Amino acid sequence: MADVTTQAFSPLDHLNLTVGGPSDAGVSLGERRFVGKLNLRVTPAKIPPAINDLLGGPLPAVGQVTFGGQVMTAWLGPDEYLILTEPGAESALQAALLEGFSGQHVAVTDQTDNATIIRLAGGDARWVLRKGIAIDLHPRSFAAGNCAQTMFERAQITLIQVDDAPSYELIVRNSFAPYLWSWLADASQDVGVRIVRL
Amino acid sequence: MLLIDCPWCGPRDDSEFQYGGEAHKRRPPAPDQVSDAVWADYLFHNQNPKGLYLERWRHSAGCRRWFNIARDTVSHAVLEVYPADALPSNAAARAVYEQNWRRENEAAANAAAVAETTEIGA
Amino acid sequence: MSHQPYRLASGGHIDRDHEIEFTFNGRLYRGHPGDTLASALLANGVHFVGRGFKYHRPRGIFAAGAEEPNALIQLGHGPRTEPNLRATQVALYDGLTATSQNVWPSLRFDLASVNQWVSRFLPAGFYYKTFMWPASQWMRYEHVIRKAAGLGKAPTDRDPDRYEKMHDHVDVLIVGGGPAGLAAALAAAATGARVMVTEAKAGFGGHICFDGAQQIDGQPAAEWVTAAVAKLQAMPEVTVLPRTTVTGYYDHNYITALERVTDHLGNTPTHLVRQRFWKIRAKQVVLATGAIERPLVFADNDRPGIMLASAVREYVNSYGVLPGRETVIFTNNDDAYRTALALDDAHARITAIVDLRAEADAVAGDLVAAARDRGIKTYFNHAIIAVSGHRRVTGCSIMELAEDGTTVTGPVTSLVADCIAMSGGWSPSVHLFSQSRGTLSWDDEQACFIPDVAHEATVSVGASAGDFSLAGALKNGLKGGMEAARASGAKGRQPAAPKVDPVTEMPLRAIWQVPTNAGKGKQFVDFQNDVTAADIRLAAQEGYLSVEHTKRYTTTGMGTDQGRTSNVNALAILANARDAHIPDVGTTTFRPPLEPVAIGAFAGRAVGGQFEPVRSTPMDPWHHANGATFEHVGQWMRAWYYPRGSETMREAVDRECVAARTGVGILDASTLGKIDVKGPDAAEFLNRIYTNGWLKLAVGRARYGLMLGEDGMVKDDGVTVRLAEDHFHMTTTTGGTAAVLDWLEEWSQTEWPDLQVYFTSVTEQWAVASICGPKARDLLAELSDDIDLSDAALPFMGVSTGTVAGLPARVFRISFTGELSFEINVPSRHGLALWTALMAAGEKYDITPYGTESMHVLRAEKGFIIVGQETDGSVTPGDLGMDWIVASKKADFVGKRSLARTDSLRADRKQLVGLLSTDPEVVLPEGAQVVADLKPAPPMTMLGHVTSSYYSANCGRSIAMALIAGGRARLGETVHLPLSDGNLTAVVTEPQFFDPKGERLNG
Amino acid sequence: MSAINRGVRALKNSAKRYSLAALARNAFNGHNQWTEAWRNAKPREAYDVVIIGGGGHGLATAYYLASVHGIRNIAVLEKGWIGGGNTGRNTTIIRSNYLWDESAALYEHALKLWEGLSQDLNFNLMFSQRGVLTLAHSEHEMKEMSRRVNAIRLNGIDSEVLNPMEIKALVPIIDINPGLRYPVMGGFLQKRGGTARHDAVAWGYARAADDFGVDIIQNCAVTAIRREGDQVTGVETNQGFIKAAKIGCVASGHSGVLAAMAGLRLPIESRPLQALVSEPIKPVIDTVVMSNAVHMYISQSDKGELVLGAGTDAYNSYAQRGSLPIIEHMLEAAVELYPIVSRVRVLRTWGGIVDTCPDASPIISKTSIKGLYFNCGWGTGGFKATPGSGHVFADLIARDTPNAIAAPFALSRFESGHLIDEHGAAGVAH
């Protein structure tokens, strides 16, 4: 029988990336591997308290992310959310959520393996992102705790600003991940890029 | 590039959206009961005004929701963005709706009239 | 600097401490950092730099900026060469090389210059009247014309430089860094608004930097500019972009701008892009784009040495270059007197000023008075009627204007000049305003078009609004900037306007075509396209009266300068020819880009590997490592077949197909679309979307479904599994994935919002390996001990969950080959591990990986369709012989009504049939057209075409499917397939070729 | 196909005829003998036929009504300047290599008329049969191409398949590296296809129609279509009422507006179609090359400009301008396929408004109103059809019944479902 944990590959594994780069690089680029991802579809008016407990608070408002302990929840649409968990915690949370909703019309779909998370961080991260993203990333419009679904050139992404470094997480369908990574690495040449392991 | 104010995600470039053509267009509730002409109306005949148009858009790169907008096809000005299942509240947009042959409460009457008069083609 | 004979001893913004070398037409020259190629050439006494497009007359440097029509050069060589650059915009760097273009063999001895002697045969529109005899010869004429046309040459290699895009959002975008633009920026920035200010040139300040000794707030104007720019640059919410041209003004204040990042550097640093293409969404726009000086239309006004008066002044004051040693100034307005004063300040000789205005109409102006005070000779009410000199102007003849200004009179006076500085007044740069769909109005007094009603949230200030005074530019710039900031939501008080001494200027005299009695000289209007006043009058004479007709017939305004210097003159001469008022003739619409932009800049990073994503599956590394050949399927690259050794495609596919039916084959099916469908009404929803029934499907069972468009045509197909009462796992075709999800969402949100159902894409959540063949069950049993694979527990169209190779898996017993087969779904991170485990365990069964080609063959053997191959948007289920899947008893489903239209019921519709080639070894070409009656030559009546065709090793012969008119009624008939290299024949059959009873599904 | 009735040649015996003698005469007298190409007519009270729309199709209709059918009492009403709509805004490509029999017949009819049209009209339209090459970039496109080429050939239309090496020989600037995202796998060439000078087509038809007495009335906007019962009686215009027994509507981009005036509904949506030209450069590409997969087509004009076209924008508009991404994607594709164009500069972009039909095929049809005819819905492909469109539409108006070529394009097909789906033929996706 195969060992499940060692036989897991991310789409970026095949790029043979080497960790490192200049210490004064304007941005760092890394992958957050196998973060649990649950897509939640529910009418937000009907949230049982148990769900708030699981997510560490109420569901996020439009364009917002909430942080609840080991769980981060991002608003995707009027009845759609993306819940990020520690790797491996998604199945238990999925079951707990379904139980918490107890028969309500909801969908909790495991998308952990559907998408890849690339983190771009550093003083020039916004500059690099603006090369491929059309939405306004100025702190007055988009700050830590904000999220948006949008296009990064040819790839559809969910963008989350995690902190004021600023650090961004770009969630992209697996088969677009190598494209997005290469694009970001190329677009970072003018400010310098360091590849990191997260 | 049009700037379209998605009711959920806020203003985004038109390239993030899918166009859905005429709004307030209803599928005949009993397709089997309508004539070929009425069915052709439903399938192919859209309003194509030079001026204010009530149309559907979907924020395909964002929240994936359908909604309606009232947009001038000449100036490209967007007068109103409103939900897919609502009517416009802007007066000019409302007037356009009222003049629409496909508007729900006239659909049936129109259907009969169209079936009679659309002896077109050779 | 003895090397640069026309360089003044002082003055200008050049770096005099460094001298750099460049070559033009192979000759070495010297200039300074801060020069343009044009200023450096002029410093070396080089005026004659090119030839006219049509007549190949000598042409010189004409302007000092973007409006230059003449001095187009080919820059550099090799892969970085660039054609059609204006020498006036090319920053000089060490080692720059440039050549004249469209001349042969050389600039001085250009053979095509004979055109100027036969020019009487080449009036406007002559192409349309000739080259028609004999009719067959046009292509030969055209070949010669094409060789003569064109300007510079494209590189012959790939562009080594890179480009990028940059998105930005600002409250106020200010276009233009002259006095009005800087004032606007200062006012807007003071409110805290997000402000961007762009300037096309390297330096800010616009004309105030070269207009001469002016003071702003008691300090020299240039110092005010430096301080203003420094202040703006220090503000965190302000972006200051020099060398950046706003090129496009699109809907809803969407603006594009081109920043030239490294063009002015000789060596491009590899980590930087050459140009950056900005895409800016602005809440408010302030246009401070200045104005362009108009030439005067007089005889032989195209000779090298004849320049715009403001350009002469700019070369003197900004570059310390003297365009000529003896200058005649020819003007209809006061501004040209600034040039006289600048030349006088530089101790240059001014032969005379020739002013079209009467002395009485001009003398009250401050500038005219200043010139008079300095003793500069001025001929009022005079016109230049002829010029001398061919490759360089040597002088001119002037005469007095008659009363009404349309003829000349009196004696001829000859003036010596190696430079004529002309000014026909100023045209505001309204191009961007016009692009934004603002309307223009005609200002009779200033004889120019000015912005009228804005279409976007935009305001024009300064010279671009027709406000030519410095005081006005500063005052209205501040006001415009402030109002724009407030309109964008910012708050603040408007700063006080800087103090400027007023200058009294007198009105110009609009004489659009300068009269002459000499008769012969060409009076050029559009210098780049060689359009003369006579051409425009001829167009009007021939009825091309609309300005657009005139423009297209004569080509005026259609050069690379888009008629910057010619449009108003052309319009005025057309108006005169039509006896109409200028605004009634209209103006042409300006289209983006404002200035030519490299195609590479529009492409940005989307070149090479970043042009379009290549999507691949989790198993892709294995396919590559094992020699697979790949096929393009939309954005995906899928393993096509796996040749072993020296196998041909046919040999590999034959082997794979046989293995799949005799042992076990394995296919990477991960690209199939997968949609999670969840909700109490999920079954009802599917029942409406698919043609067949879904309400009674048992949990844990799968069903094949066919989806139609509302037009009744087949849209997609796939197997859908019922995971729970309210939960389905839908699969779609690889190509249809996104469209089907959109389709479901659309029906759900807009037509049936009452149905409670959610859709979530899980296409890439699951990696899928499909194993098939008589040994498939044995293989799977090796790797799974918690899934009961018996027919009873997991029957055909059954579903089970468990582990395979220790990996969490969903196993679907469904088949696209007709063999016993299992689709094993695992989380995609484990896809490669699953595949590897199956390959290892399958070794003893001689497991054979097969690609998409074998998949196609295997399904064709069974007569299964592929959407997009057997269908093309015009095929109904009935056409495919799939009436069995259309539940006609259902009250409704999407597309049902269209199946009842008269055309859908035609008996002679194209129907899917099998075709067996008469020669079983011959594979009918896919796409071959089928005819019943073979004729010796086309045309022939076609019945339809071959949709799929393969050699089937399992059948031992070739097989094919075809869509043929009335095909079901033709079973057994022999048909013909006429091809370009011979004809084939085939017999029409049922479209099933292997195991027609489906007995192999159970292995 | 039988010989086409090209009608009486225009300006045959006219002093206005362009000839070598006329050229020489004018060269030596200052070009003062050239007369108006067409009269700028004022509307008369009544006409036998009023054509609404002074583009290439409308002017051609008038010309063939006059030259083939002998109907001379015709007015062409143009709300702006003739040829100012899509005639003057397209990428001038001419070809007839269509998939379906109905389309092939129509476009081949047009192509045969193009051949010799300069002589018919005594106006050099610069019709240049430099060949139109359509590329295939995937295994699937290669199969589609095979189907198309066989159909074209069996319809008696020229078409030949080229492999990448042959394509490279024909188009030296193309990149045939098989590693491209969309590699050039093959293509098919219609040698008789090519380009023509678009403005000249309008001017040439106008001048020739004028020679037969047709009134060409510019700046004449139709504001209403009048009828009595189910018979048209004339049109209201900004220059007054004009009586007419027959009205042909040929107003590409505005057909829906005209239909609404008559109380009709057309299955048409008006969309912007964008194109651009580069600065002129010395010849680098002789053939017209189209590419479906990457949504772009390219040719080089006689003036040296690269002419590039893309698909339509996705939304309805009458603004003659489109969105930037269409242009960006087209130029990305241009660099991908023709790497040397990266440093060539875009001179001018523009948009036209095209009538798009659900099946990407035109409408040439009578209507439920007697005497009212529509010729519209040409989408992105109208220019190439100009002579054929005018020829069959004139025939329909003159005889009040469609000929075999026009018949399949009647409005009735949207009820019956007998569509002629040519989405694949546009060269670019709609």
pLDDT tens column, C372-418 = 999 999 999 999 999 999 999 999 999 999 988 999 999 999 999 99
What average pLDDT does the structure give for chain A?
95
Please give the Cα distance from D99 to D108 (Å, whole number).
Answer: 12
The more confidently predicted of residues C697 and C517 is C697
Number of domains composing chain B: 1
Q: Which CATH architecture has domain C905-1003?
A: Beta Barrel (2.40)
Min CA distance, B3 vs chain D (Å)?
11
Report the pLDDT value the prediction gives residue D2, as an integer from 0 to 100.
Answer: 58
Residue among A77, A135, A156 whose CB faces B8 most closely: A77
Q: A14: Cβ–Cβ under 8 A, 6 or more apart, which residues?
A: A178, C620, C621
Confidence of residue B115 (pLDDT cuts 50, 70, 90): very low
Q: What are phi and psi of C685, to 5 degrees?
A: -60, -50
Nearest CA in chain C to B60: C742
User: Could you tell me the domains of chain A?
Assistant: 22-33+113-195 (3.30.1360.120), 36-112 (3.30.70.1520)
Q: What are phi and psi of B92, to 5 degrees?
A: -65, -40
Report the pLDDT value the prediction gives residue B102, as an integer from 0 to 100.
Answer: 76
Query: What digits encode the pLDDT tens for the residues C49-77?
Result: 999 999 999 999 999 999 999 999 999 99
Report the pLDDT value the prediction gives residue C139, as an integer from 0 to 100.
Answer: 87
Mutate to test the interface with C, among A114, A170, A183 (most CBs of C within 10 A): A114
Report the pLDDT value the prediction gives residue C111, as an integer from 0 to 100.
Answer: 86
Place of tokens 């069950």: C777
- The CATH H-level (homologous superfamily) assignment of domain C295-424+504-521 is FAD/NAD(P)-binding domain (3.50.50.60)
Residue among D270, D325, D401 whose CB faces B15 most closely: D325
Report the pLDDT value the prediction gives residue D320, as an integer from 0 to 100.
Answer: 85
Residue range of the domain that includes B28: 3-121
Residue among D40, D138, D421 whose CB faces C543 most closely: D40
How is residue C543 written in tokens? Answer: 């009825």
Q: Is the pLDDT of residue C114 over 90?
A: no
* Beta partners for residue C714, in sequence order: C708
Report the pLDDT value the prediction gives residue D424, as an integer from 0 to 100.
Answer: 66
Please give the Cα distance from A5 to C174 (Å, whole number).
Answer: 56
CB contact under 8 A, B32 and C897: yes
In chain C, domain spans? 20-149, 163-291+428-487, 295-424+504-521, 523-594, 905-1003
How is residue C503 written in tokens? Answer: 């200058």
User: Domain D132-191+270-356, CATH 3.30.9.10 — does that match?
Assistant: yes
- Smallest CA-to-CA distance from C50 within C111, C110, C124, C117 is with C110
| Chain A residue numbers touching C758 (CB-CB < 8 A) | 41, 79, 105-107
Question: pTM for the complete prediction?
Answer: 0.96
Nearest CA in chain B to C890: B32
CATH number for the region D36-124+197-268+359-426 comes to 3.50.50.60
**Is residue C119 within 8 angstroms of chain A, CB to CB?**
no
CB contact under 8 A, D254 and B19: no
pLDDT average, residue stretch B44-63: 96
Please give the Cα distance from C840 to A7 (Å, whole number).
Answer: 14
| Chain C residue numbers touching B82 (CB-CB < 8 A) | none
Confidence of residue C110 (pLDDT cuts 50, 70, 90): confident
Report the pLDDT value the prediction gives residue C810, as an integer from 0 to 100.
Answer: 97
Residue among C544, C562, C602 whose CB faces D348 most closely: C562
**Is residue A95 within 8 angstroms of chain B, CB to CB?**
no
* Beta partners for residue D2, in sequence order: none
Mutate to test the interface with B, among C171, C252, C755 (most CBs of B within 10 A): C252
Chains that touch A (3 or more CB pairs under 8 A): B, C
Please give the Cα distance from A158 to B59 (Å, whole number).
Answer: 14
Report the pLDDT value the prediction gives residue A103, as an integer from 0 to 100.
Answer: 86
Please give the Cα distance from B41 to B44 (Å, whole number).
Answer: 6
Q: What secondary structure letter does DSSP report for D98?
A: -
Report the pLDDT value the prediction gives residue C461, as an integer from 0 to 100.
Answer: 98
* Beta partners for residue C408, in sequence order: C401
What average pLDDT values come out for chain D (430 residues) when binned by 10 residues?
82 89 88 93 97 98 98 97 93 95 97 96 96 95 95 96 98 96 96 97 98 97 95 97 98 91 93 95 97 90 95 92 92 96 96 93 97 96 96 98 98 95 57
pLDDT average, residue stretch C642-652: 97
pLDDT average, residue stretch C802-807: 96
CB of D335 closer than 8 Å to CB of C600: yes
What is the CATH T-level fold of the domain C163-291+428-487, as seen in this structure?
Answer: FAD/NAD(P)-binding domain (3.50.50)
Looking at the domain covering C523-594, what would its CATH class be? mainly alpha
- Smallest CA-to-CA distance from C828 within C676, C637, C670 is with C670
Please give the Cα distance from C556 to C573 (Å, whole number).
Answer: 12
In chain D, domain spans? 36-124+197-268+359-426, 132-191+270-356
**Is residue B10 within 8 angstroms of chain A, CB to CB?**
yes
| Chain B residue numbers touching A134 (CB-CB < 8 A) | 12-13, 15-16
Report the pLDDT value the prediction gives residue B114, as an integer from 0 to 100.
Answer: 47
Q: What secondary structure letter does DSSP report for D196?
A: -
Report the pLDDT value the prediction gives residue B116, as an integer from 0 to 100.
Answer: 47
| Chain D residue numbers touching C552 (CB-CB < 8 A) | 88, 199
Confidence of residue C102 (pLDDT cuts 50, 70, 90): confident
Q: Is the pLDDT of residue C721 over 90?
A: yes
pLDDT average, residue stretch C333-342: 97
Handedness of CA B108, B113, B116, B121 (dihedral sign): negative
Report the pLDDT value the prediction gives residue A4, as an integer from 0 to 100.
Answer: 54
| Chain C residue numbers touching D119 (CB-CB < 8 A) | 132, 135
CB contact under 8 A, B3 and C252: yes
| Chain A residue numbers touching B9 (CB-CB < 8 A) | 62-63, 148-149
SS3 C828: helix
Interchain CB contacts (distance < 8 Å): B and C: 56
**Does C295-424+504-521 match C163-291+428-487 at the fold level?**
yes
Of all residues in chain A, what percent carry a pLDDT higher than 90? 90
CB burial string B22-50: b at 16+ within 10 A, e below: bbbbebbeebeebbbbbbbbbbbbbbbbb
ipTM of the complex: 0.95
Nearest CA in chain B to C895: B31
Of all residues in chain C, what percent carry a pLDDT higher than 70? 100
Interchain CB contacts (distance < 8 Å): C and D: 293
Q: How many CB atoms lie within 10 A of CB A116?
A: 26
How is residue C425 written in tokens? Answer: 């007044």
Report the pLDDT value the prediction gives residue C117, as an integer from 0 to 100.
Answer: 80
**Is residue B61 within 8 angstroms of chain D, CB to CB?**
no
**Is residue D424 within 8 angstroms of chain B, CB to CB?**
no
How much helix, strand and coil, in percent to the nearest 5, is found in chain A?
20, 35, 40
Report the pLDDT value the prediction gives residue C645, as an integer from 0 to 100.
Answer: 95
Quick one: C871 exposed, middle or buried, by C-beta within 10 A (0-12, 13-18, 19+)? buried
Kindly report the CATH number assigned to the domain that includes residue B95: 3.30.2270.10
CB of A24 closer than 8 Å to CB of A191: no
Q: How far is CA C265 from CA C34, C41, C89, C318, in A?
A: 11, 19, 13, 20
Report the pLDDT value the prediction gives residue D425, as an integer from 0 to 100.
Answer: 56
CATH number for the region C20-149 comes to 3.10.20.440
Q: Is the pLDDT of residue B106 over 70?
A: no
| Chain C residue numbers touching D284 (CB-CB < 8 A) | 154
Report the pLDDT value the prediction gives residue C1, as an integer from 0 to 100.
Answer: 43
Q: What is the DSSP string of A93-155?
A: HHHHHHHHHTTSS-EEEE-TTTEEEEEEESTTHHHHHTTTB-S--STTTS-TTBEEEEEETTE
Q: What secondary structure letter does DSSP report for C230?
A: H
pLDDT average, residue stretch A116-120: 98
CB of D61 closer than 8 Å to CB of D375: yes
| Chain D residue numbers touching B101 (CB-CB < 8 A) | 265
